[in-house]
Structure 1
């Protein structure tokens, strides 16, 4: 294990506290404190204010019950309102009336319209898919016609069972870039992996290759300086920090960019769970051995990754994007052995739970097995029903979880689902060498998805995410083989193991489950 010295840990904490990020977090906490204190004072100021708040609370609860939100989110909000009527009610109203959220939703809708003509579905592909597996054709219709994510053929896929495998393949592909490189990642941390990539990006930018790099704003909390985009700009790399942390309360800051996308010349695309940090390639040990996965696409389907990147990049751009410059050159002929490839994205602003729908689809149409790798297990009632119903139907459902977690509270919460799932026939294994960060579903030797989407509320409902749905491609054999090889290193969780949990772990998990939608 990688144990930090106490002095270094204190220095790191002091650096965060006395940095610009620490100042921003302090301002947010002050605003939250003022909000709570003010609402409590108003609540106790006079009877008529208390009565008004009571009436308002009832109205808000009625509104919540009749809203289209996920039932788990409804329950959490109502619990907050019942427990703290004034604070909970006013905070809910504040959250639902924020202009920033509405603006971002409208802006993304506009950008989707701009890119629609570059994301048209070839109906011959859908017809061929329908002849092979009608259920998958229905999924393709939903994703293409309602969300703008076409299904493609003529796309080669390489599967990487570890982060170091992806890293070794990624560097040579970046070196081949002649026109452009687009990169979008959730975590970027200085170290061997990022320094190696940055050297290539800097050199390519000097050679005249257009390089755009985008990362999530949470990196500025402890991993990168707040002005890091300026440093990359000085190297010739166009850079953006997506949704930077700002000193005011806003639910927009809850919608993180959790995607991992790399596109090179429109010919090669990468996605999966692997961020740009040394633990992801097992060069730095944090939670034992780090098990992660990714895929590389070569061919027609890369265009969807390109457009996903450009949509988010252009949220705050005033100049129109020249999308035609970045189109993927289509391959001639038809390679039937490559099957069907469908890259998809998920946004918290389109009222569609795309990642969850893909997972539901695989569970609901499996005939023999569904094998899953996920780092987190924080489930709503619909996902619990889908998993248990599939297992009760005689279909083998196996979930591989970490044995060494990165977040103790998320692990304690995950364990509260074990008993219900195991009793229904779902098999749960923990990866004893360390931490599983992979997000993989594979089913029936013909269907799989690899991407960034965890089995938790944040990935399924709150974050920007992406993945690749694969059908009838030989890479599925490699994904299933990797699952079995990983399974051989796991410990199967029994009901006896569940009962052996400490009282503290049980209590913590049960309390945390009340706030699961916020985790």
Structure 2
């Protein structure tokens, strides 16, 4: 079976490459035919590019994104404008946007905030209550108490509990991941999913088609359906017929019976549990929620599912207490939320910014990519300049050399502001987490780069005074201990290197 899948993957890539080459040949032929009208075409394209530059300047958009496109259009005045028309819009295609917005309107009534929880949070910490209220108002996801949080400092530790919870499932299992790859991790999960489907459980799965394009064969979801697992490949890769491929489902969600959920940076592939060595030791993090807060994850999964596969009219049957009538217990407050490119509200970035703005003592950050805009850079620097101990851990061994160089090019202004930056010596850090002042924490799928903050569907959990924060802080300090601290001397690139880094930063928002 594996050999057959590998051949299908290869065939899929070959077909895609062949179609791209065919398209390039067609473009070359058309350009030769149009050369006789070059002066008229040049004038038309130049006027178009000027009009688009003026349109970009007037947009309420991220300044770094606008600058990148304006520079590109200046460099390619003939085709830069056309390129923007085809791929410059960060929002999903009209059809995807309509389906997801309609589904959100249908289901959002199930996301009602309990006034008692909100009042209790306000009495504990009014400023924190404001942060949670912002996420609720712009994203519709409530804040909860009565939810136990377990923090995992590695993928392999979380995987053990994931398998135990999957085996204990009695009613339904929802799986949503950006990457799924054949190997020991996925085979173990798949075996349980098949078994549970055979037992009559409602087992559903969403995987991102682009994230799995070289890892799973085309039409893999059809094979899973034959195994009894309802499955959907999100935003299928269709060369030339689907122009908007930028918006990916980067979320990581495992939801079991509506009362237990796992999330974080961990995908379903062997490197995430270090069964496969890539770039040294693979450091990742995650959390398990047990309790009322799981409802947000259940709702965001069902919203995505029903936008494309109409199946549920009443989702109240999936609520946490339906299959767990006993009261839940847990310290503090939790707020799982999703960030989406459907609107102009960058919820994930704004949560990060708010934590930095509120911090009094420290903020420790794990991120595999540090590709930030001016707003985030200023917030990081301002926190450090007012005496907050800001520390950032990035990979010591990169997964993408160019992106690693781009990450490093952002170090100097942060270092000069007093931020301490570390590179994880044992290998690659894929974790995405914040911890501040022993009170605030965020663990989720959101990288500190333009794709996560502006283009992808993401998820995370905002934590306040919950169980698990103590372990997150300890893991942060332990990780810093085995990492190499970076100084300004490490960032010297020379004139040519500095110019190259500047070019990378200009075009980073477009990548």
- TM bucket (normalised to shorter chain) is over 0.9
Please state how far the C-alpha of 1:189 moved relative to its aligned partner.
Answer: 0.8
Work out the CA distance in 2 between the residues paired with 1:230 and 1:287.
33
Q: Match of 1:195?
A: 187
Q: Match of 1:291?
A: 283
Q: Match of 2:213?
A: 221
Please state how far the C-alpha of 1:32 moved relative to its aligned partner.
Answer: 6.1
CA contact (8 A) 2:395 2:425 kept: yes
Q: Match of 1:8?
A: none
- Stretches of structure 1 that go unaligned for 5 or more consecutive residues are 1-10
2:416 equivalent to 1:423: yes
Work out the CA distance in 2 between the residues paired with 1:25 and 1:301.
44
Work out the CA distance in 2 between the residues paired with 1:367 and 1:298.
30
Q: Match of 2:384?
A: 391
- Stretches of structure 2 that go unaligned for 5 or more consecutive residues are none
Q: Match of 2:98?
A: 106
Work out the CA distance in 1 between the residues paired with 2:287 and 2:53.
44
2:129 equivalent to 1:146: no
Query: CA offsets, 1:132-177, max 9 Å, x none?
Result: 2222211222221221110000000000000001100010100111
Please state how far the C-alpha of 1:219 moved relative to its aligned partner.
Answer: 4.2
Work out the CA distance in 1 between the residues paired with 2:439 and 2:465.
5
Over 3 Å counting, the alpha-carbon distance change for 1:262 and 1:386 in structure 2 is same
Please state how far the C-alpha of 1:57 moved relative to its aligned partner.
Answer: 1.7
Work out the CA distance in 2 between the residues paired with 1:207 and 1:50.
65
Query: CA offsets, 1:52-83, max 9 Å, x none?
Result: 32222221111100001211111111112111
Work out the CA distance in 1 between the residues paired with 2:33 and 2:228.
53
CA contact (8 A) 1:121 1:151 kept: yes
Work out the CA distance in 1 between the residues paired with 2:218 and 2:316.
33
Over 3 Å counting, the alpha-carbon distance change for 1:219 and 1:57 in structure 2 is closer
Q: Match of 2:157?
A: 165
CA contact (8 A) 2:9 2:215 kept: no
Equivalent residue of 2:93, what SS? helix
Equivalent residue of 1:221, what SS? coil
Please state how far the C-alpha of 1:399 moved relative to its aligned partner.
Answer: 0.1
2:378 equivalent to 1:406: no
Q: Match of 1:7?
A: none
Work out the CA distance in 2 between the residues paired with 1:146 and 1:98.
19
Work out the CA distance in 2 between the residues paired with 1:443 and 1:401.
18
Q: TM-score, normalised by structure 1?
A: 0.92
Equivalent residue of 1:295, what SS? strand
Q: Match of 1:81?
A: 73
Deviates more, 1:248-257 or 1:503-512: 503-512
Over 3 Å counting, the alpha-carbon distance change for 1:22 and 1:351 in structure 2 is farther
Query: CA offsets, 1:447-476, max 9 Å, x none?
Result: 100000001001100111000000011311
Work out the CA distance in 2 between the residues paired with 1:87 and 1:177.
54
CA contact (8 A) 1:16 1:222 kept: no
Work out the CA distance in 1 between the residues paired with 2:444 and 2:32.
44
Deviates more, 1:120-129 or 1:405-414: 120-129
Work out the CA distance in 1 between the residues paired with 2:435 and 2:283.
16
2:283 equivalent to 1:268: no
Deviates more, 1:233-242 or 1:438-447: 233-242
Work out the CA distance in 2 between the residues paired with 1:480 and 1:192.
30
Over 3 Å counting, the alpha-carbon distance change for 1:513 and 1:44 in structure 2 is farther
Q: Match of 1:248?
A: 240
Please state how far the C-alpha of 1:191 moved relative to its aligned partner.
Answer: 0.8
Q: Spell out the pairing of 1:91-490 with structure 2 (5 A cutoff).
A: 91-95=83-87, 101-248=93-240, 250-329=242-321, 338-490=331-483
Please state how far the C-alpha of 1:27 moved relative to its aligned partner.
Answer: 2.2
Q: TM-score, normalised by structure 2?
A: 0.93
Work out the CA distance in 2 between the residues paired with 1:320 and 1:483.
41
Work out the CA distance in 2 between the residues paired with 1:351 and 1:43.
41
Work out the CA distance in 1 between the residues paired with 2:457 and 2:91.
19
CA contact (8 A) 1:43 1:53 kept: no
Please state how far the C-alpha of 1:502 moved relative to its aligned partner.
Answer: 7.7
CA contact (8 A) 1:24 1:247 kept: yes
CA contact (8 A) 2:92 2:341 kept: no
Work out the CA distance in 1 between the residues paired with 2:42 and 2:35.
5
Over 3 Å counting, the alpha-carbon distance change for 1:507 and 1:55 in structure 2 is closer
Over 3 Å counting, the alpha-carbon distance change for 1:518 and 1:469 in structure 2 is same
Please state how far the C-alpha of 1:207 moved relative to its aligned partner.
Answer: 0.6
Query: CA offsets, 1:307-354, max 9 Å, x none?
Result: 11111112222455431221221877685x611100010111122111
CA contact (8 A) 1:36 1:87 kept: no
- Name which of 7, 13, 21 aligns with 1:21: 13
Please state how far the C-alpha of 1:93 moved relative to its aligned partner.
Answer: 2.3
Q: Number of aligned residue pairs: give it.
A: 506
CA contact (8 A) 1:369 1:444 kept: yes
Please state how far the C-alpha of 1:97 moved relative to its aligned partner.
Answer: 8.0
